[in-house]
């Protein structure tokens, strides 16, 4: 029997750890090697069954790898590419899990050797808890998994990443990296910023102690994303500035419009609310899975 192909995960946080668990539990046939700057996280990943082997030396972790998954915060992807580039074997498939794609593809084209294939990836899954202890083999079940192949990626490499996505239960979705970044700015980065702004505005009020007693399930849900990892979200914002700023501006205009409608007290306000309700109810209905199966948007959802 030939030895099992090696899959190396760099960055053993929520996403890297969950991916390792899912790959191992689905028996995709990989020897899973894990690396993390923090040795403690790598040790925990080994104990939790997220990797077959933790390798503290980065060159040693990647030199025999057939697939390398970079699952660090976005801005660390650049330095990780630099660190691993000299050690990748020809034909190696490199992928990532970052929430922004255009910048990552530019770094891959610039830094990775032409002997390897880069295929960008972004599983649309997450929780507001982070780190290896939050990892969960079922995190990707039913989720959309965006795939953005690099220009030099060969077909086999693309298929490898597609198999990896389907193997962990996700649904591959090919998308142009610039479109991806604009879309996720609207449906993922903007909601995070709204959550964060809401919490900061409420918590910085002198009345926060009283306010917080009255905050209930509505506040909890709209503020949930504010509990996410600050470094991850900073990196996302700084590698997707243009799209995020454009959506923030549109959102600001919509809030000003709602303020005007509240001030004037006419019929428009109810219409604005009805329009949102209708769009949101339709979206929820279209994302319900078949009966008896969890809804598509339930993936990675463990509200807290």
Q: Identify residues 87-146 at the interface with a second copy (CB under 8 A).
A: 124-126, 143-144, 146
Q: Which of residues 247-266 bind a second copy (CB under 8 A)?
A: 247-252, 254-256, 258-259, 262-263, 265
CB of 217 to a second copy, least distance (A): 4
CA distance 290 to 60: 45
Tell me the C-alpha to C-alpha distance, in Å, between residue 304 and each of 87, 189, 219, 224, 227: 41, 19, 12, 7, 9
Q: Please tell me the distance from the alpha carbon of residue 238 to that of residue 230, in angstroms, as a whole number.
A: 12
Q: Compute the least distance from the CB of residue 48 to a second copy, in Å.
A: 22
CB of 12 to a second copy, least distance (A): 21
| Helices of type H across the chain | 14-25, 39-47, 58-62, 74-84, 102-111, 155-167, 177-184, 190-203, 208-214, 217-223, 230-238, 241-264, 268-287
Shortest separation between residue 46's beta carbon and a second copy, angstroms: 28
Residue in 70, 28, 68, 20 with CA at minimum distance from that of residue 45: 20
For residue 28, the minimal CB distance to a second copy (Å) is 23
CB distance 120 to 87 below 8 Å: no
Interface with a second copy in residues 269-298 (CB under 8 A): 269-270, 272-277, 279-281, 283-284, 286-287, 297-298
Regarding 79 and contact with a second copy (CB under 8 A), the answer is no
- The residue (of 56 and 273) whose beta carbon lies closer to a second copy is 273
How many residues line the site for a second copy (CB under 8 A)?
97
CA–CA separation, 281 and 111 (whole Å): 45
| Residues 153-182 contacting a second copy, CB under 8 A | 173, 175, 179-180, 182
Q: Determine the Cα–Cα distance for residues 147 and 155; give it in Å rounded to an integer.
A: 13
Site for a second copy in 187-246 (CB under 8 A): 187-188, 190-203, 205, 207-208, 210-228, 230-231, 233-234, 237-238, 241, 244-245
Q: Which is nearer to a second copy, 234 or 293 (CB)?
A: 234
Of 64 and 301, CB closest to a second copy = 301
């Amino acid at each position: 029997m030939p030895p099992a192909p090696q899959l190396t995960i760099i960055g053993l946080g929520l996403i890297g750890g969950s991916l390792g668990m899912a790959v191992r539990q689905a028996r995709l046939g990989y020897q899973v090697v894990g690396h993390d700057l923090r040795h403690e996280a790598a040790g925990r990943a080994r104990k939790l069954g997220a990797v077959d082997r933790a390798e503290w030396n980065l060159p040693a972790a990647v030199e025999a790898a057939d697939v390398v998954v970079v699952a660090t915060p976005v801005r660390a992807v650049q330095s990780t590419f630099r660190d691993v580039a000299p050690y990748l074997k020809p034909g190696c498939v490199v992928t990532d899990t970052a929430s922004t794609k255009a910048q990552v593809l530019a770094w891959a084209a610039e830094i990775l050797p032409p002997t390897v294939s880069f295929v960008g990836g972004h599983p649309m899954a997450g929780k507001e808890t982070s780190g290896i202890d939050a990892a969960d083999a079922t995190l990707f079940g039913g989720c959309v998994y965006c795939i953005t192949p690099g220009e030099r990626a060969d077909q086999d490499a693309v298929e490898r990443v597609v198999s990896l996505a389907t193997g962990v239960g996700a649904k591959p979705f090919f998308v142009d990296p610039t479109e991806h970044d604009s879309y996720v700015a609207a449906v993922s980065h903007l909601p995070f910023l709204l959550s964060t702004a809401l919490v900061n505005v409420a918590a910085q009020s002198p009345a926060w102690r009283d306010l917080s007693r009255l905050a209930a399930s509505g506040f909890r849900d709209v503020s949930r994303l504010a509990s996410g990892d600050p470094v991850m979200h900073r990196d996302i914002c700084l590698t997707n500035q243009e799209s995020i700023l454009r959506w923030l501006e549109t959102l600001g205009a919509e809030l000003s419009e709602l303020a005007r409608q509240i001030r004037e007290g006419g019929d428009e306000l109810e219409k604005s609310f009805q329009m949102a309700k209708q769009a949101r109810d339709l979206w929820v209905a279209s994302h319900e899975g078949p009966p008896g199966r969890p809804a598509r948007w339930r993936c990675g959802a463990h509200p807290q």
